[in-house]
């Protein structure tokens, strides 16, 4: 990403900023100095699951973007997958925008494209119709709410047309990035500023990491969630993430202490946490 890119971590506010700036950009012809805009959306990710927010998971690239941009200390979503996407793309509450149909909203790419931007998306859509119906000039990904990471599903599309998932050698996260990079090549060939929306399915269930990524984290979570949580809180204090001293909230009543779990259950949960970390690592 070059120096003209917009670096912001905290995607709800990013959507509002992009929408606001794009509305002004559409009123005037392209000036030749528009920033490239990259929006990365992860699915079912906890706020502290990135290194720059206290995580032990290796996310050096996202951490570098945070260090070179803005890192927000407050974030709100709509507690639902599709509705958060509607708000991110339109800057409106989901119901105001017309829910999945977006019939009462204008999306970021629908505003940026007339302003001279090359608009592209890769990843999970989970809304009505297809991204190519809402201002995206390029699209690769699945229209469904979730899919098998290795086998995909029948909703995969490439620029509006059905796309057959290969029988072998396929992994959704990798395919999304490969197509996104190809789209950026198209943007450079057309010598246009670009808006890229990269919507990962990961770490949404099912937890299906690549074998190498999974092996990297095996054993790391054997210490249990109480120890991991304490380490994250300590790192957040070291980073001065909240600008003041903090105390962690009490453990929810329905979550038992790690020490109270049976050995078999601890082994199962440690493997699940390793799989979760692995799919986030691959996002990075």
Q: What is the DSSP string of 126-191?
A: -SSS-GGGTT-SEEEEESSS--BTTTB-TTEEETTEE-PPPSSS--HHHHHHHHHHHHHHHHHHTT
| Residues 36-65 pLDDT 10s | 999 999 999 998 999 999 999 999 999 999
| Residues 99-154 pLDDT 10s | 999 999 999 999 999 999 999 999 999 999 999 999 999 999 999 999 999 999 99
Residue 176 makes CB contacts below 8 A (sequence gap 6+) with 122, 123, 140, 141, 198, 199, 200, 201
Reported confidence tier of residue 32, pLDDT bands at 50, 70, 90: low
Entry pTM? 0.87
Judge whether 49 and 57 are in contact, CB under 8 Å.
yes
Residue 81 annotated as catalytic: yes
The average confidence (pLDDT) of the chain is: 88
Q: How many CB atoms lie within 10 A of CB 204?
A: 19
- Both tokens of residue 78? 């709509």
How far, in Å, CA of 275 to CA of 207, rounded?
Answer: 6
Q: Is the pLDDT of residue 71 over 90?
A: no
| Residues 208-225 pLDDT 10s | 999 999 999 999 999 999
| Residues 143-168 pLDDT 10s | 999 999 999 999 999 999 999 999 99
Reported confidence tier of residue 7, pLDDT bands at 50, 70, 90: very low
Percent of the chain's residues with pLDDT above 90: 77
Of the residues 18, 94, 126, 179, only one is catalytic, namely 126
Residue 126 annotated as catalytic: yes
| Residues 244-273 pLDDT 10s | 888 888 989 999 999 999 999 999 999 999
- Both tokens of residue 184? 């950026």
Using a 10 angstrom Cβ sphere, with 0-12 exposed, 13-18 middle and 19 or more buried, the burial of residue 160 is: middle
Reported confidence tier of residue 73, pLDDT bands at 50, 70, 90: confident
Q: Phi and psi (nearest 5°) for 148?
A: -65, 130
How far, in Å, CA of 165 to CA of 175, rounded?
Answer: 10
**Interstrand relation of 5-6 and 156-158 (parallel, antiparallel or unpaired):** unpaired
Quote the pLDDT of residue 2. Answer: 35
H/E/C letters for each residue in 28-69? CCCCCCCCEEEEEECCCCCHHHCHHHCCCCCCHHHHHHHHCC
Q: Which one-letter DSSP state was computed for residue 108?
A: H
Kindly tell me the sign of the dihedral angle through the C-alpha atoms of 125, 214, 251, 47.
Answer: negative
């Amino acid at each position: 990403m070059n120096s003209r890119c917009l670096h912001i971590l905290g995607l709800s506010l990013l959507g509002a900023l992009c929408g606001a700036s794009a509305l002004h950009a559409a009123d005037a012809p392209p000036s030749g100095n528009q920033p490239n805009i990259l929006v990365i959306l992860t699915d079912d990710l906890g706020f502290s699951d990135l290194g720059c927010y206290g995580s032990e998971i290796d996310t050096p690239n996202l951490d570098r973007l945070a260090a070179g941009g803005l890192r927000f200390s407050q974030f709100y979503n709509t507690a639902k997958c599709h509705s958060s996407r509607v708000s991110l793309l339109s800057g409106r509450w989901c119901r105001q925008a017309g829910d999945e149909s977006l019939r009462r909203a204008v999306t970021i790419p629908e505003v940026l494209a007339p302003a001279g931007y090359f608009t592209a998306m890769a990843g999970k859509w989970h809304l009505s119709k297809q991204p190519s119906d809402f201002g995206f000039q390029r699209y690769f990904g699945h229209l469904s709410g979730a899919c098998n990471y290795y086998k995909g599903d029948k909703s995969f599309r490439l620029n509006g047309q059905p796309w057959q998932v290969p029988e072998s050698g396929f992994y959704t996260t990798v395919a999304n990035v490969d197509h996104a990079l190809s789209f950026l090549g198209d943007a450079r060939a057309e010598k246009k500023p670009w808006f890229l929306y990269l919507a990962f399915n990961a770490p949404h269930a099912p937890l299906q990491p690549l074998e190498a990524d999974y092996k990297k984290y095996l054993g790391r979570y054997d210490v249990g969630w109480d120890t991991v949580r304490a380490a994250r809180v300590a790192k957040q204090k070291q980073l001065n993430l909240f600008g003041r001293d903090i105390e962690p909230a009490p453990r929810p009543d329905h979550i038992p202490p790690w020490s109270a779990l049976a050995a078999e259950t601890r082994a199962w949960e440690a493997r699940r946490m390793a799989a979760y970390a692995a799919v986030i690592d691959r996002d990075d």
